[in-house]
């Protein structure tokens, strides 16, 4: 129960001093060391700053490959400086950066900004975090603040490589955002177990009616929830769906459920799907028990008198262990925004996320009423 949050398993996949590897992180580190750092250091000696490869992009997770390079990949860097220096540093780099480095252009368009320009993201540290997560880290974070973030948004701040941090601000922010407060973590675990309990018997119910397509759809939903639960159990931020399976398989503990989850989505019939799901959920239940969290034994039971399997309540014991009044006041079985919202346009927009989670008031109507 006192284990530290899992460090990103991809952090050592690329060395910043090896340009020949041509991974995005290695390239960014060399770009800072050879070009950006000397330029800024000469112009503003002693300027407090951090340089890192943060934000979006498969290279932040160390997962970029040859295919990644057809768009938005290249000489990208995050440079965090005092607020009063942002505009000056950004303009200076636009004027002073060479045209190319390591055979790559320093200025190029991106899918979100088609104008050609340098891709050193210059920002103040707290502003950068807020742009990615929606969190105002100059203040204490509330339960509602935490409910409005996604794992992917947090990875855009806490994953990736930091090459230098002379002020220490970025390091401290990454420490603060490493993981949920303990009671909120338990609440989110309970929500995932509740979601699994609600639909596990439906795999068999649809299958016995000859609806194998419906059984497969429900199975896929449950596998996605189980994977999210696995990330929570290993205290590792879950990425967005494109990389979820890849990084789930690299988790230090929950990944032992990966073969059974794979079998669940590939089984030809509902009985095989249900059996594989049960196996995976038993593995995850054992992981929870190993963490010292309240966990029922056994984990699985029959669903009434029907020939289907169901979960013994995991969410009830977890919610009974909560002590934080703000977490206790949350509705059971709901969880965080990414546990009940699937719309990409909401999940990728910090303002929409916070509004949906209740952290931001909705915009007024045309007549001025809220």
Quick one: 63 and 147 in the same domain?
Answer: yes
Quick one: 78 and 96 in the same domain?
Answer: yes
With respect to residue 81, please indicate whether it lies within any of the assigned structural domains: yes
Quick one: 157 and 230 in the same domain?
Answer: no
Quick one: 169 and 26 in the same domain?
Answer: yes
With respect to residue 74, please indicate whether it lies within any of the assigned structural domains: yes
With respect to residue 360, please indicate whether it lies within any of the assigned structural domains: no
Quick one: 221 and 162 in the same domain?
Answer: no
Quick one: 95 and 143 in the same domain?
Answer: yes
With respect to residue 96, please indicate whether it lies within any of the assigned structural domains: yes
When the pLDDT of each residue in the chain is averaged and rounded to a whole number, the result is: 90
Quick one: 74 and 155 in the same domain?
Answer: yes
Quick one: 204 and 158 in the same domain?
Answer: no
pLDDT at 370 over 80: no
With respect to residue 14, please indicate whether it lies within any of the assigned structural domains: no
Note down the domain range covering 215: 182-335
pLDDT at 67: 85
DSSP letter assigned to residue 356? H
With respect to residue 357, please indicate whether it lies within any of the assigned structural domains: no
pLDDT at 68: 84
Quick one: 186 and 169 in the same domain?
Answer: no
Please report which residue ranges of the chain form alpha helices under DSSP H: 24-31, 37-43, 86-96, 125-133, 143-147, 151-158, 169-176, 182-208, 212-233, 241-248, 258-266, 270-290, 315-320, 325-328, 337-340, 344-347, 350-357
Quick one: 186 and 158 in the same domain?
Answer: no
Q: What is the mean pLDDT of the segment spanning 239-251?
A: 95
With respect to residue 3, please indicate whether it lies within any of the assigned structural domains: no
Q: What percent of the chain has pLDDT over 90?
A: 81
Quick one: 216 and 230 in the same domain?
Answer: yes
Between 291-295, 333-337, 360-364, the lowest mean confidence (pLDDT) is in: 360-364
With respect to residue 12, please indicate whether it lies within any of the assigned structural domains: no
Quick one: 186 and 324 in the same domain?
Answer: yes
Q: Into how many domains does the chain fold?
A: 2
Given 176, 204, 228, which residue is the final one in a domain? Answer: 176
- The answer to whether 238 and 179 are in contact (CB under 8 A) is no
């Amino acid at each position: 129960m006192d284990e530290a949050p899992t460090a990103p398993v991809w952090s050592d996949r690329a060395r910043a001093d090896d340009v020949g590897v041509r991974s995005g992180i290695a390239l960014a580190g060399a770009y800072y060391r050879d070009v950006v750092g000397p330029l800024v250091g000469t112009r503003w000696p002693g300027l407090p700053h951090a340089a890192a490869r943060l934000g979006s992009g498969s290279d932040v997770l160390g997962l970029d490959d040859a295919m990644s390079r057809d768009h938005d990949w290249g000489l990208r860097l995050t440079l965090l400086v005092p607020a009063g220096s942002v505009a000056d540093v950004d303009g200076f780099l636009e004027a002073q950066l060479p045209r190319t480095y390591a055979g790559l252009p320093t200025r190029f368009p991106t899918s979100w900004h088609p104008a050609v320009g340098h891709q050193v993201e210059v920002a103040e540290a707290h502003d950068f975090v807020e742009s990615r997560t929606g969190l105002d880290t100059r203040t204490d974070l509330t339960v509602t603040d935490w409910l409005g973030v996604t794992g992917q948004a947090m990875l855009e701040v806490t994953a990736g490589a930091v090459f230098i941090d002379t002020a220490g601000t970025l390091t401290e922010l990454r420490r603060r955002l490493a993981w949920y407060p303990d009671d909120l973590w338990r609440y989110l675990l309970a929500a995932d177990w509740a979601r699994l309990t609600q639909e596990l018997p439906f795999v068999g119910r649809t299958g016995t009616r000859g609806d194998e397509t419906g059984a497969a759809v429900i199975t896929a939903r449950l596998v996605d929830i189980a994977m999210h639960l696995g990330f929570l159990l290993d205290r590792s931020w879950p990425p967005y769906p494109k990389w979820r399976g890849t990084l789930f398989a690299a988790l230090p503990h929950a990944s032992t459920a990966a073969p059974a989850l794979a079998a669940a989505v590939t089984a030809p019939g509902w009985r095989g799907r249900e059996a594989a799901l049960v196996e995976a959920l038993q593995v995850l239940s054992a992981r929870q028990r190993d963490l010292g969290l309240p966990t029922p034994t056994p984990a699985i039971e029959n669903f009434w008198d029907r020939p289907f399997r169901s979960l013994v309540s995991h969410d009830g014991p977890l919610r009974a262990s909560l002590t934080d009044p703000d977490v206790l006041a949350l509705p059971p079985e709901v969880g965080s925004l990414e546990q009940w919202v699937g719309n990409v346009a909401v999940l990728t927009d910090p303002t929409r996320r916070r509004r949906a989670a209740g952290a931001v008031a909705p915009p007024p109507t045309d007549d001025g009423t809220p």
